[in-house]
Amino acid sequence: MEFSTQSTTDLAKIQTQALSVGVFKNQELSDAAQQIDQASNGAIRAVLEAEFKADAKTHLVLRHLDGVAAQRIVLIGLGEKAKYNAKAHAAAESVFASYCKSASITEAVSTLASIDVAQNTVADRARAAAQAVGYANYAYDATLSKKNEDKSIEKFAVWSAPTLTAETQTGLTHGKAIADGVNFTRLLADLPPNVCTPTYLAQAAKKLGEEFDSLKVEILERKQIEALKMGSFLSVAKGSEEPPVFIIIKHSPAQASDEAPLVLVGKGLTFDAGGISLKPAANMDEMKYDMGGAASVLGAMRAVAELNLNREIIGVIASCENMPSGKANKPGDVVTSMAGKTIEILNTDAEGRLVLCDALTYVERFNPAAVINIATLTGACIVALGDINSGLFSNNDALAEQVKEASQQTNDGVWQLPITDEYQAKLKSNFADIANIGSPGAGSITAACFLARFTEKYPWAHLDVAGTAWNSGANKGATGRPVPVLVQYLINQCAE
């Protein structure tokens, strides 16, 4: 995809396959829509009176208007002006991008970023446009016998004032990198579990290292993991024939700042059957998405390398399968983590925290400025937050606020939940230092409390993306979340 800015004063003279203009309810036109309406002798107002109500997330296409060079004018409904905000703008860009994709349009111009939005810069709006186009271009066909032949949007421009060209281009650059990272994440997560194994994830990381000079990749295999005494991680892996891998991917730019690194840690269960605590058969196929955290780390690292951020950033992934077998963990087993803490396994389907706790201990060696782990960790988080917000937990208020800020900038929602000592008490075990599940209730919180036991040496945040990493039903597929919030957080930290 090629993104650019367009600052031609006279919109009617822009030659393009499709030009979007925004229209609010009550027949209120954006500045761009007014320009086109005047140039076309009132063509837009004519359809507003007759057929287009300008409800949010709607569109109407006008073709070959007299006095207008664009082949199509795409009216984008913006809803009520008083309610128009950053999320509404992102949705409007998505409507336009989706139309362009469905109509096999390969080149287009959007004017929507020129509409002011409270607490939202033109760079924010341009980023949302680039993300929308990138997402619209994604089509899974890796395991289909007939490959997708639909045309992609190849060139996309955002119209803005000449004085805002640099800021607009920055937003487009960031948005493209985020979209590329999201789509990389989506592809990895959508692949079937017999293809995307732990070994495949390791190979994907190596390929990223070959593509981007700033990325250096190290893969640890079973013997090296054993040498590190990651007994908790290995206990999950032992039930499967697939070998575990531990992936370290470092972004080390030539002009790196001297600040401590930022670290992302991903849960990489390429399939989670639940182990001996077997999951129900219904929808178990979706447990291929249990590596969503790992996929998002790789997607974020891809974006980081594309942007060549000026700070050392490290991605760490612990990957294996959780399967039932004669070697698998049993309820009641006690294992020893890399940190030396013993864990009583009361439920083998609470395996993500067993994998992550050793990864979170491992990253202490980097003396990180901050660590964010990402995991499809608990069904309880879906009960609490549904598929709208990812759960956010943190031991550091400043870090939590930084993640929330990035969330607001990218419309990639998070919601913070508590991890207080009262919840920690629910993890008491009579036979080990800690149990891997808590007493009934607050399952997503007690899971985060478990992880917090292994993150006392650095600022840490945990994103539970069990409800947001993929969609079920007719639109089943990976979403690529929370790559947008991760990348924006990293951009913000590098800009300081």
Name the residues annotated as catalytic. Answer: 279, 353
- Identify whether the C-beta of residue 329 lies closer than 8 Å to the C-beta of residue 348: yes
- Return d(Cα 370, Cα 459) in angstroms, integer: 5
Residue 381: DSSP 8-state? H
Residue 143 burial by CB count (10 A; 0-12/13-18/19+): exposed, middle or buried? exposed
CB proximity list for 136: less than 8 A, separation 6 or greater: 94, 97, 98, 100, 101, 153
- Return d(Cα 434, Cα 334) in angstroms, integer: 10
- List beta partners, residue 272: 322
Where are the extended beta strands (E) located within 119-256?
155-159, 215-220, 245-251
Handedness of CA 387, 392, 398, 402 (dihedral sign): negative
Cβ neighbours around 264 below 10 Å, total: 29
Q: Are strands 155-159 and 215-220 parallel, antiparallel or unpaired?
A: unpaired
Nearest Cα neighbor of 372 from 202, 490, 197 is: 490
